[in-house]
Structure 1
Amino acid sequence: MNPLIAVVGATGTGKSKLAVDLASRFNGEIINGDAMQMYRGLPIITNQIPIEERNGIPHHLLSCIDLDAEAWRVGLFKREALRIIEDIRARGKVPIIVGGTHYYTQAVLFKEQLVGEGVDDESEREQLTEFSSTSKKWPILDSSPEVLLEKLREVDPVMAARWHPRDGRKIRRSLEIYFQTGRRASDIYKEQFSQKRKAMDQEEGLLRFENTLVFWVHAEKEVLNARLDARVDDMVKQGLMTEAEKMSDYLREKASQGIEVDQTRGVWVSIGFKELAPYFKAIRDGEASEKEIEDLKRNSLELIRIATRQYGTSQVKWIRNKLWKALTEAGETRRLYLLDSSNVSDWSKCIAGPSEEIVQLMQQNKPTPDPKSLSQLAAAEFGAKEAQAQKREQTDPIGRCYTCDVCQKTMATEDQWHIHLNSHQHKRGLKSASKRTQRDEYFRKKELEAKGIQALETEPGS
């Protein structure tokens, strides 16, 4: 039983260490699944695992493209990763994919998914590659979200009811699908959802590889945030400033050659460079005082800490929502194991030991433990997801938005809707609405009484 192992989780939780541990234990090789770590020459900013910590394990797709290269689109990554997986297995080894760009990993784990579902913005744009020029062909796509939503209500009311009125990107995406294919996105989604259900009924499976294990290295939020703040300080000691300055000098050199680098894509959006860019600019301009320069540096580093914490939160959100949804659709949530790395001193007990035991059981074709049994954190996370699944309608692949007429707010999911109904804001809104109704009723009665008196006064003989 030769498994495909995937290691996911927020930045700073220990994904790379676990991948090396498993590769060392089970004769494996590692495939990098982090878009930023594919760039060479920036090991600190992109948080690449140091060579001395790799234990001699081969790492594929790590530090393999130049600074001027665009980040790989998910289709290219999937093709290369699948080719490497085949090669690793042909040599009798275990492929282990690890990284924080979770839509890369998810594209490898699962067969084709719903258009616009289960993948992030980048891969959504790729699924219909011609869409890069659609605004030229259909100028309405450059309109405001209000105009786009009005048009979508006209051509695809089901999808229009699905998206939040201010979510212009998703509204635009649904219109793009309609214009490009001549079919409503809602019909496409339903058709693909039906195909998935049929595949499940026929036991074909939605996972690309039968023997798949996904380890989610997770930590309590407060613990992780403190760890990430400390890691930024360590990165500074290791040479973060030098790498960021190297990137800044690269841009200046390109500018002197008349070459404009798109800083909205690729490695230029990595955390650690864009936050420090104003600092290096101030140094080059030479107009700021020493104190202003130092303050700018301190503020830039704080922005890096904030961005790192936010990125970690978004990675966890992806796992809880999109990865869990894909596993649920495939009927394979039992493949996901949460490993609690809140206390790194218990690494062997909480991470290495359980993960090795699970892999070994799968290789021996023996039953693996209940994912909720590994820790209290795992029980809490998965218990909450299972409770949500019981309440949610499983047969609707599209869903809809919920609008509160009292509070004039729109919620994108049923869970958000129920949270809103129980919120203090909604309850205050109900009270205010009730008072307004009572007030309006009072004045209406007064108005009717006044009209009645006036009518009596105008009658003959009054």
Structure 2
Amino acid sequence: MEPLIAIVGSTGTGKSKLAVDLASRFNGEIINGDAMQLYRGLPTITNQIPPEERNGIPHHLIGCVELEKEPWRIGLFKKESLRLINDIHSRGKLPILVGGTHYYTQAVLFNESIVGDVVDSMRDGKDRSEGDISSSTRWPILDAPTDVVLQKLKEVDPVMANRWHPNESRKIRRSLEVYFQTGRPASEIYAEQKRLTREAMENGTAGPGQLRFQTLVLWVHANKEILNARLDKRVDAMIEQGMMTEASQMLDYLQARRSQNLTIDPTKGVWISIGFKELEPYLSALSEGSMSKGELEALKHSCIESVKTATRQYATSQIKWIRNKLWTSLAEIDMTHRLFLLDSSNVENWDKNVSEPSENLVQLLLRDEPTPDPKCLSELARVTLEAREARSSERSESAWQCITCDTCQKTLANEEQWNIHLRSQRHKRGVKAAAKKAGRDEYIRKREDPDIVHNEAD
């Protein structure tokens, strides 16, 4: 298997810098795995690494999509990335995939699962077997309210229906669509997937869900409080570097298209990038000229704070993906020892904490030598990975079943949340209230039942 370095982590942790460091050291080329950085002409809003910081290293799939184009579907991204990886290998160089949109990255790292093409087509918003006919056109129930979709899922796949919380509309729809696309319950397909993966591991073959390459996954991570403060400062720097100007250009473009009766979906593509939608209220008010200078300044400050909040939330979601989705996929094939956490909390110790350990790991990978225990790299690595291992070992299949508290009329996503709920003050108050109500109801029933009144009198 050919080598591949994958660098993952939240925004603001230093993924791009590490990629350049390693590419410079090991004759590598970099492939961008961030959906927003595919777009051309918006280097600040999309956080593209400046050309002067690339050290002459080729960066692929960055700034290659025009503003008006549809976002790349995951299938297209995977196809282009695999083509580039093979090309880089053929020239004797080391491919380095830098992920920001982690489900893009994960699609490249792992072999197709049984339902891989189906899931890809759902993310792409189109059913490949029927050309350009969308799934919701073929099966209108997918556009119905979530409770209707859930009820249908209970009929065709009760196992998956019991797994999802009623508020997890996307997962509920996806499970039902898998049934429509394949004619088989998603739970049955995933069970088969696990069985084939287990057999492939036992036989030493590259089965579904296995890594495509001899992969080293480097997770650049930082203490949450330190990272949040760093992200706030970075947003301020981006404002100074031209984020407001780029957002204004996007708004002008959008308005020009609308004036030509050309529609753009603001919920897709670069229009959902952090920065534009948060700054748009201020830019619109500035254009309209209906606010005083003081009101505009207050609105500007509020919009910039919204950018900071959205950035912190996005970082949290990226970390959750790594801890849950990526970790689980690696655990299922017994490959968590390929995931190394590098502590970038202290940028002054970058060489000691990030560059040097990562270079040593890459050298071991290229020499096909054993790598150390990932937990030994730093205290942050030990604490984070031990917590992930403990949580993973405690989880059983039943932990994925939703549980409904009849007392509180609340549905919990799994056994872990159920146990937390049982200890909550809300549940304890609900139990007491239910007991009091039951007592009152029993008292009223006795008072209103002549037979009970007569018997008590005797």
| TM-score of the aligned structures, taking structure 2 as reference length | 0.92
Cα distance per residue 1:198-245 (max 9 Å; x no partner) = 222222244333421000001111111111010000001111111111
C-alpha distance in 1 between matches for 2:288 and 2:282: 10
Match of 2:407 in 1: 406
The amino acid across from 2:214 in the alignment is: N
Instruction: Indicate conservation of the 8 Å contact 1:78/1:108, yes or no.
Output: yes
Instruction: Indicate conservation of the 8 Å contact 2:126/2:135, yes or no.
Output: no
1:154 CA displacement? 1.8
Cα distance per residue 1:155-213 (max 9 Å; x no partner) = 22212211112322222222223233332222222222222222222222443334210
* Aligned pairs for 1:50-65 within 5 A: 50-65=50-65
The amino acid across from 2:101 in the alignment is: T
C-alpha distance in 2 between matches for 1:279 and 1:60: 34
Could you tell me which of 248, 251, 259 is aligned with 2:251?
248
The amino acid across from 2:155 in the alignment is: E
C-alpha distance in 2 between matches for 1:245 and 1:433: 56
2:385 is aligned with 1:382: yes
1:250 CA displacement? 1.3
Match of 1:31 in 2: 31
Match of 1:15 in 2: 15
C-alpha distance in 1 between matches for 2:400 and 2:189: 14
Instruction: Indicate conservation of the 8 Å contact 1:39/1:64, yes or no.
Output: yes
CA RMSD in angstroms comes to: 2.6
1:135 CA displacement? 3.1
C-alpha distance in 2 between matches for 1:407 and 1:120: 38
Match of 1:191 in 2: 192
Provide the secondary structure at the position in 1 that maps to 2:427.
Answer: helix
* Cα gap change, 1:302 to 1:316, in 2 (>3 Å): same
How many pairs align?
455
Instruction: Indicate conservation of the 8 Å contact 1:118/1:322, yes or no.
Output: no
2:295 is aligned with 1:292: yes
Match of 1:123 in 2: 123
Instruction: Indicate conservation of the 8 Å contact 1:10/1:316, yes or no.
Output: yes
Instruction: Indicate conservation of the 8 Å contact 1:30/1:57, yes or no.
Output: yes
2:311 is aligned with 1:308: yes
C-alpha distance in 1 between matches for 2:146 and 2:24: 51
The amino acid across from 1:416 in the alignment is: Q
* Aligned pairs for 1:262-341 within 5 A: 262-341=265-344
* Cα gap change, 1:432 to 1:118, in 2 (>3 Å): farther
* Cα gap change, 1:208 to 1:390, in 2 (>3 Å): closer
1:366 CA displacement? 1.9
Cα distance per residue 1:11-70 (max 9 Å; x no partner) = 000000011111111111100000101111111000011111111111011111110112
* Cα gap change, 1:284 to 1:456, in 2 (>3 Å): closer
Instruction: Indicate conservation of the 8 Å contact 2:121/2:127, yes or no.
Output: no
What is the percent sequence identity of the aligned residues? Answer: 60
The amino acid across from 1:387 in the alignment is: A
The amino acid across from 1:163 in the alignment is: W
Instruction: Indicate conservation of the 8 Å contact 1:118/1:323, yes or no.
Output: no
* Cα gap change, 1:132 to 1:423, in 2 (>3 Å): farther
5+ residue gaps, structure 2: none
2:210 is aligned with 1:207: yes
| TM-score of the aligned structures, taking structure 1 as reference length | 0.91
Q: Which moved more, 1:178-187 or 1:328-337?
A: 178-187
Provide the secondary structure at the position in 1 that maps to 2:381.
Answer: helix
C-alpha distance in 2 between matches for 1:247 and 1:456: 80
2:99 is aligned with 1:96: no
Instruction: Indicate conservation of the 8 Å contact 2:118/2:181, yes or no.
Output: no
Provide the secondary structure at the position in 2 that maps to 1:274.
Answer: helix
Match of 2:370 in 1: 367
* Cα gap change, 1:170 to 1:116, in 2 (>3 Å): farther
2:239 is aligned with 1:231: no
Provide the secondary structure at the position in 1 that maps to 2:112.
Answer: coil
C-alpha distance in 2 between matches for 1:388 and 1:4: 28
The amino acid across from 1:175 in the alignment is: L
Could you tell me which of 342, 346, 370 is aligned with 2:345?
342
The amino acid across from 2:81 in the alignment is: A
Match of 1:112 in 2: 112
